[in-house]
Structure 1
Amino acid sequence: MLISAGMWATSGSLTNDLAPRGIVSFEFVGDSEAAAAMLDSWGERGRIEAAFNLGLDFLFILAWVPAVAIGCLWVAQRFGRFVIALRALATLQIVAGVFDMIENVALLNLLLTAPSEPWPQIAWWAALLKFSILTLGVVAIAAGAVVAGAKRA
């Protein structure tokens, strides 16, 4: 929670017309020309905040990966019918964490050097894969919690 709050607190100046979703817009910028424009729109202070935010994100990976994986395992334990799929989904959270690290390295390369290919594409694909796997895990946990709650009622 503290890491998440720190990331939120350091991302305020990253939201503008070119980056309507702040750092998430940067994750999906897609090409070096758009990345350069976004970085210019942030200015020096925004670049520093983005770098700090990415540093915190490396720590956040250590929190969200096990949390979502454990959540998937909790659902697997409660609903044996999907145990193999849910265990696989729990393991895939580690893969999502690796994609998050790859994304962060690509974004740091964009921040610390002149934006160039292939870094925006690497960040884009890594973010897409990370969010896809993470979303599946969160949906599985939410569905499991709803079903568990319905069984109690």
Structure 2
Amino acid sequence: MDHPLLVVPPGARLRVALALVLFAIALSVWLGSMDEVLRGPGTEGGIVGYEFCGEVARCQAQLDAMEARGASTTLAMSLGVDYAFLLAYSTAIAAVIVFLAARLPRAPRALAAIASAQWIAAGLDAIENYALWRMLAGGARDPWPAIAAWCAAPKFAIVAVGLLTVLVLLGMSVRSR
């Protein structure tokens, strides 16, 4: 298997993977605490509901509800922290896949593709965040609601495939011991 993360020396891979995973978890906890502030009447879905609002009227209604509760600053902070999170989760998932796959006698090429796809998910997440930021800064206007939703859906699908792959590889790793 060939992948850019294989430049990490084998002796350091566990430490690198753990550091990335712990950083991603820490950011996820922080984002989760901000999401609690974003949830409320009219925004029951929190940030994910905002990502998938999809239409100008629904997105504006969510922005108005957050503004009425004084949560707009939290939304802005959440979008900013998410830029760090998208780098952390995508690289953490990719690293775990690559490092576990490198231990297999013959790792399928698809594993490198799934690992690399996590960075595509991060790119979609960055575009989605930009669209969400544009709506926060200037009101919900076309094309931003659709761009956010169309980026969020494949992002979540790619990350889900990556996490499922991690679970399968971890299971194979435990079973082979």
State the TM-score, normalizing by the size of structure 1.
Answer: 0.92
2:138 and 2:88 map into 1 onto residues whose CA distance is 29
Identity %: 32
Find 2:42's aligned residue among 18, 28, 33.
18
**2:78 paired with 1:66:** no
Deviates more, 1:79-88 or 1:129-138: 79-88
2:132 and 2:34 map into 1 onto residues whose CA distance is 16
Find 2:74's aligned residue among 49, 70, 83.
49
1:88-129 residue CA offsets vs partner (Å, 9 max, x unmatched): 111111111100100000000110102111101100011111
Q: For residues 124-135 of structure 1, what are the structure 2 equivalents within 5 Å?
A: 124-135=149-160
Find 1:39's aligned residue among 48, 52, 63.
63
Find 1:88's aligned residue among 94, 109, 113.
113
Shift of 1:17: 4.1
1:83 and 1:58 map into 2 onto residues whose CA distance is 31
Instruction: Give the corresponding residue for 1:7.
Output: 31
Deviates more, 1:40-49 or 1:59-68: 40-49
Alignment size in residue pairs? 152
Instruction: Determine if contact 1:77/1:83 at 8 Å carries over to the other structure.
Output: no
Give, as a single letter, the amino acid of the residue that structure 2 aligns with 1:26: Y
Give, as a single letter, the amino acid of the residue that structure 2 aligns with 1:22: G
1:112 and 1:19 map into 2 onto residues whose CA distance is 18
Deviates more, 1:75-84 or 1:36-45: 75-84
Give, as a single letter, the amino acid of the residue that structure 1 aligns with 2:119: I
Deviates more, 1:76-85 or 1:132-141: 76-85
Deviates more, 1:76-85 or 1:42-51: 76-85
Instruction: Give the corresponding residue for 1:123.
Output: 148
2:105 and 2:119 map into 1 onto residues whose CA distance is 22
Unaligned runs of 5+ in 2: 1-24
Query: 1:19–1:81: structure 2 CA closer, same or farther, 3 Å change rule?
Result: farther
State the TM-score, normalizing by the size of structure 2.
Answer: 0.80
Shift of 1:148: 1.5
SS of 2:142's equivalent?
A: coil
Deviates more, 1:130-139 or 1:80-89: 80-89
2:107 and 2:41 map into 1 onto residues whose CA distance is 44
